[in-house]
Structure 1
Amino acid sequence: MSTPLMDKPGFLRSALGGLPRPFWALWSGTLVNRLGTMVMPFTGVYLTQERGMPVAAAGAVMAVFGAGSLLSQPLAGVLADRIGRRATLAGGMLATAAVMLWLGASTSLTTITAAMFLLGLVIDVYRPASSALVADLVSPEERPRAYGLLFWAINLGYALGMTVGGRLAGMGFSWLFWIDAATCVAFAVLVWRAVPETRPEAQESAGGFGVVLRDRVMVGFTLVMLGNALMYSQTVTMLPVAMTKAVGMPTGDYGLAMALNGVLIVVVQPVVSGWLGRRDPSRTMALGLAVMAAGFGLTAFVTTVTGLALTIVVWTVGEIITAGIAGTVVARLAPAHLRGRYAGLSGFAWSASSVLAPLLGGTLLGVGPEALWFTIGGLGLVSAAGMLALGPAVRRR
């Protein structure tokens, strides 16, 4: 007996069809850009090995990048509303390309530090503009699927880019900077040529960022997103440390287990995004956060690579559930002329987590693995409860 999922043409139409052509241009540009994301994952290696910095100095330089990132999202949100989504996205990508090349050519501590700050400021300028573009171009019913597909493109491109970047780094780090810069330019050109400007009338966009901060529902949702970000950020901060140092897991085994995350997202996420998009966003987001919390909480009991793989499967399922929902909620809460600012506030939660997550995780891991993972799991459950509490207000919007 056939089922809808077995009907491949029908499945492809439901998973990929019905979205406007400009969205697919944005999706393609996002994929190309992520395929070239090679510099940031290897920044620490570049600073210590290529530029000969002590580990402490490299850490301080990377903290400067985080400081730039904290300013990036609110500024980008205002620009997306004032000068336009397309102009902000394309301008941010071109600025990122220029700073990438400057960083690659810098040799002194002063210029490297300045370049890292500017890179933190411009590298994610595209995010609020991209989020606002999806909300402007795609109908409310299709937004969860559209945001989910963008999430899929980011993960697919990143996984492939990391594989290629690791090999190119062995040939010389200059390749990474040139390829990253080239894909940024390609993203900018594609969006400028194929995506229309969707900014509302200028007079409607008047007002500062305080307009968003006075929206208590949006501020509450941003706190939920901060909890989500602090939880997920442990995967790139304390999880590798906890597994290799505290548990004694070989790095090869750890990398193999972590590959499950990317594989599951690439294979599963497009299949379920349409179905998840038909569910209530607040309850779906809360469910995903709770599943992620369970996965991270269970990490306290991991002693083998098999156990780690099982917890990765659990929190990846939660990640897939939440993938297209956050952007959907922000689009539902934001007035059309303030979508950039609202997306910027949501993005600020992730920028803040890049600074706070290692501080929180490092302190807790110093106490013990159980302290870290039970606290992180508890934080996820609190975030899920907060999302449920916000649900009625989100539905009224």
Structure 2
Amino acid sequence: MFNNLKSNYNQFPKNFWMVAFTSFIDQLGSFILMPFIALYITARYDIGMTQVGFIFAIVGAGNMIGGILGGALTDKFGRKTMTLFGLLASGSFSIVIIFIDSLTVLYFVILAMGLMGSLAGPARSAMMADILPPEKRTEGFGILRITMNLAATIGPALGGFLAARSFTALFIVDAVSSGITGLLFYFVIPETKPKAAEDAVPETLKQSMGGYKDVLKDWKFMIFVGVSSLMALVYMQMQGTLSVFLRDSHDFSTVNFGYLISLNAFMVVIFQFWLTKRIKKFPALIMMAVGNIIYGIGFGLYGFISTVPLFFVAMAIITVGEMITAPFSQTIAANFAPEDKRGRYMAVMQWTGILPMLFGVIGAGLIMDNWDSRWVWYFAGIFSALAALGFALLHRAIKSSDKKLSVQDSLVVNSQETEAFSMEIPVKFDKDLEISILE
């Protein structure tokens, strides 16, 4: 067992493990805070979910602007520089929010927080693509997913415990985690921007921004981003809306909500490998469609159920959908991206989370404040069905154009079974098992 662990460890560069470790620390702080942010805002400022949705939309607008700038600046100035800047901004704003009493001031601070904090997102994704060779990229992103879910297992439970005593502690812990991550990044992790890009004639910022035209012309990638955004519109309700709905409609405590979110992460950590081994032989886009159908069932259930055990059952169903869909996205995006445009591709991929933030929570807030709040979950089921249809149609469109996009096994499986990976060449597992997004 220990020999296998050592062998798997040695297959990845040291810098990869350091990035994975720092990501865990940073994500732990985020998962302690974020599931409870809507509860904090409604309690602190005595506002309804429509205004909370407006705040999330402001964050989304800041994230979109920051992500676009961050993608271009990442390709120009380097991954490490932009990551450090984003961590510093994120930690600082977490402390600032504690002292804000005015809702109007909060709007401006939230906008700045979203903009500055999101500058680092494309940089970290590009750094992982730099560090990992193509044949290890899917496994590497899979390991990062495991570290994120380990943080998500611990974070919400700890956050629920802290929130029951002091919301302020949530912001302090998040700031501390950003600070620790920043120090490790500064002293331990080197710049990973490819040498060829550094030796070339430097792009101006205008030229870097102009590179987004190439990304937007990549129709397969952009359709994937669009349908993924619809999927994320549904999934985001678990972070921004579900806690308030369960509290107000069913008197569900913050501690129990922390356990509910931790169930999601715990299932991913325990069952992801097992499930992935059984779905890897199927077309990726079709599996994403299947996952969205399961999403629709899980989220839709919240509109019909009213007991605590069934709340956990619905979350378990949602998690199965997540385990089917989530592992593919980052790998597909990373391998679409040319080396010199990785930051920009990753920035556009961030839209799948930003667009739902702009419209998802505010839409849910309008429903909850003005109509029967159960309609949030009915619409979630409908949108999940539309996303499933979108992935299935994209699969058919790419197949009919006779252009294959091959991806490796979507999460960490036994790395000794993995032989090759590229965007154009079908992947082989167990020496003769061929897997493609389409076939």
Measured against the shorter chain, the TM-score band is 0.7 to 0.9
Alignment length (residue pairs): 388
1:173-192 equivalence runs, <5 A: 173-192=167-186
For residues 36 and 17 of structure 2, the distance between their equivalents in structure 1, rounded to whole angstroms, comes to 29
User: 1:80: Cα distance to partner?
Assistant: 1.5
Aligned counterpart for 1:382 among listed residues 386, 389, 412 = 389
Does the 8 Å contact 1:237/1:361 carry over to 2?
Answer: no
Deviations 1:79-115 (A, max 9, x none): 2111111111111101212222222233444543322
**What are the equivalent positions in structure 2 for 1:1-397 lying under 5 Å apart?**
8-9=1-2, 12=5, 18-37=11-30, 38-50=32-44, 52-55=45-48, 60-169=54-163, 172-200=166-194, 201-202=197-198, 203=201, 206-207=207-208, 208=210, 209-240=212-243, 248=250, 250-251=252-253, 257-269=260-272, 281-296=284-299, 302=305, 304-361=307-364, 366=371, 369=375, 371-389=378-396, 390=398, 392-395=403-406, 397=424
Q: Which amino acid aligns with 1:261?
A: N
On the 8 A contact 2:29/2:173 being kept in 1, the answer is: yes
For the Cα contact (< 8 Å) 2:146–2:269, is it kept in 1? yes
When normalised by structure 1's length, the TM-score is: 0.83
Matched residue type, 1:394: L
Write the letter of the residue equivalent to 2:354: S
1:331-376 per-residue CA deviation (whole Å, 9 max, x = no partner) reads 1111011111111111112111012223454677847647424413
SS at match of 2:395: helix
- Deviation for aligned residue 1:155: 2.5
Which piece of structure 1 moves more, 299-308 or 140-149? 299-308
Change (3 A) 1:373 1:42: closer
1:3 corresponds to which residue? Answer: none
The 3-state SS of whatever aligns with 2:314 is: helix
Q: Deviations over 1:39-61 (max 9, x none)?
A: 444434444545x5544766544
Change (3 A) 1:43 1:131: same
User: What is the CA-CA distance between 1:191 and the residue it aligns to?
Assistant: 2.1
Stretches of structure 2 lacking an aligned partner (at least 5 in a row):
407-422, 425-439
Q: Give the superposed CA RMSD.
A: 3.4
Q: Which deviates further from its counterpart, 120-129 or 130-139? A: 120-129
8 Å CA contact retained: 2:57, 2:357: no
Point out the more displaced range, 204-213 or 292-301. Answer: 292-301
Is the 1:36–1:183 contact (alpha carbons within 8 Å) kept by the matching residues of 2?
yes
* CA contact 1:144–1:277 (8 Å) conserved in 2: no
Task: Deviation per CA, 1:263-295: give whole Å up to 9, x if none.
Answer: 201222356668877876545544444443454
Taking a change above 3 Å as real, the CA distance of residues 371 and 285 of structure 1, as seen in their structure-2 partners, is: closer
Contact in 2 for aligned 1:67/1:117 (Cα 8 Å) = yes
Letter in 1 for 2:21: S
* Cα distance change of structure 1 residues 228 and 12 upon mapping to structure 2, 3 Å threshold: farther
TM-score (normalizing by structure 2) = 0.75
The residue type equivalent to 2:391 in the other structure is A
Could you tell me which runs of 5 or more consecutive residues in structure 1 were left unpaired when the two chains were aligned: 1-7
Amino acid at match of 1:35: L
Residue aligned with 1:394, SS: coil
Letter in 2 for 1:334: A
Moved more, 386-395 or 217-226: 386-395
Kept after mapping to 2: 8 A contact 1:85/1:129: yes
